[in-house]
């Protein structure tokens, strides 16, 4: 039976309607990108095809092979110096391996990739930008134009409406919304996994099938201020969550979105990460009403993801 749910954490209104999809996990695997290792500008040996490095981990000279994680300015930024659109737009290549996405990284590599993302966030916060968005788009359906796994770090000089709305929800709440959302998931048997200092769960009002939420419970408002233990736990929980989603859904495209506070934050907030498999497309009802239709009961999704481990 369909049920209307309002998500205190995300602010979304969702109709959970399990009858809409008898087999939601039958989507095809994500389509490979158009590039190959022969012409990929993100592969080792092609460093001259990108802007100069801003940061790297690993050996070797700057702008030469030997790196493990590499950051540089985006060649096609959507912010820069235009009126109202000042900021910075960077790419962080997560691994030298063209075919090893975030879900396939080893423990040390996953933590190293997240550490670079944290450091780039810190740089832009220190530069005085109002907000820094960190995200991974994997697969063409998720918005990636190149197949080599990479993240985007975008610093902007205004606080986005969705972030302002999130701050309002946190400020009005009597308790930490992330901790509360996890507690509801635990009571509903919707926790997917625990990894070190972090947990992953399916929210009761998830917006898409098999959406997973990850957080280090008790963390502060800023991703850039995460401790090493918090960061490592989240990195591994995100990696493991993506692996399980990939097993259940046959390797879909996905987005990983860090929900962060602006600089500075003047109210209560708790940074968290959202894993969004791209297995459904908003249709006319969703576009016209803003109400999302979730064809998979999150408790059932969590059970399948736990079993996939």
* Helix H or strand E segment including 5: strand 3-6
Domain count, the chain: 1
CATH number at residue 221: 3.30.428.10
Residue 20 is predicted with a pLDDT of 59
User: So what's the pLDDT on residue 264?
Assistant: 86
| Residues 238 and 213 sit within 8 Å (Cβ to Cβ) | no
Is-contact 191 212, C-beta < 8 A?
no
Question: Which pLDDT score, from 0 to 100, does residue 81 have?
Answer: 84
d(CA 176, CA 295): 28
Domain span at residue 264?
A: 3-21+29-307
144 vs 142: CA distance, rounded Å: 6
* Exposure string for 28-48, b = 16+ CB within 10 A, e = fewer: eebeebebeeeebebbbeebe
Please check whether residue 15 is in contact with residue 293, taking contact to mean a CB–CB distance below 8 angstroms: yes
pLDDT tens column, 237-257? 999 999 999 999 999 999 999
Ranges of residues in the chain with a pLDDT under 70 are 20-36
Whether the CB-CB separation of 228 and 196 falls below 8 Å is answered with no
pLDDT value at residue 26? 38
């Amino acid at each position: 039976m369909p049920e209307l749910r309002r998500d205190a954490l995300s602010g979304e209104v969702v109709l959970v309607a399990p009858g809409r999809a008898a087999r939601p996990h039958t989507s095809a695997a994500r389509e490979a990108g158009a590039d190959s290792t022969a012409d990929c500008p993100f592969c080792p040996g092609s460093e001259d095809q990108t802007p100069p490095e801003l940061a790297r981990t690993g050996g070797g000279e700057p702008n030469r092979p030997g790196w493990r994680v590499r950051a540089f300015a985006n060649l096609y930024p959507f912010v820069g110096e235009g009126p109202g659109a000042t900021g910075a737009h960077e790419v962080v290549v997560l691994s030298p391996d063209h075919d090893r996405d975030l879900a396939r990284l080893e423990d040390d590599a996953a933590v190293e990739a997240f550490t670079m993302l944290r450091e780039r966030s810190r740089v832009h916060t220190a530069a005085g930008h109002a907000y820094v968005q960190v995200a991974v788009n994997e697969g063409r359906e998720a918005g990636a134009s190149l197949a080599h796994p990479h993240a985007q770090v975008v610093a902007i000089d205004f606080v986005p409406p969705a972030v302002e709305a999130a701050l309002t929800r946190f400020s009005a709440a009597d308790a930490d919304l992330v901790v509360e959302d996890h507690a509801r998931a635990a009571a509903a048997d919707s926790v997917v996994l625990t990894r070190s200092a972090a947990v992953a769960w399916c929210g009761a009002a998830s917006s898409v099938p098999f959406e997973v939420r990850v957080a280090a419970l008790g963390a502060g408002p800023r991703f850039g201020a995460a401790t090493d233990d918090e960061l490592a736990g989240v990195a591994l929980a995100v990696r493991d969550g993506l692996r399980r989603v990939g097993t259940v859904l046959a390797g879909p495209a996905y987005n990983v979105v860090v929900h962060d506070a602006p600089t500075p934050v003047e109210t209560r907030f708790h940074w968290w990460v959202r894993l969004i498999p791209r297995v459904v497309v908003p249709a006319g009802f969703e576009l016209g009403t803003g109400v999302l239709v979730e064809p998979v009961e999150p408790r059932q999704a969590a059970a399948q993801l736990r079993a996939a481990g």
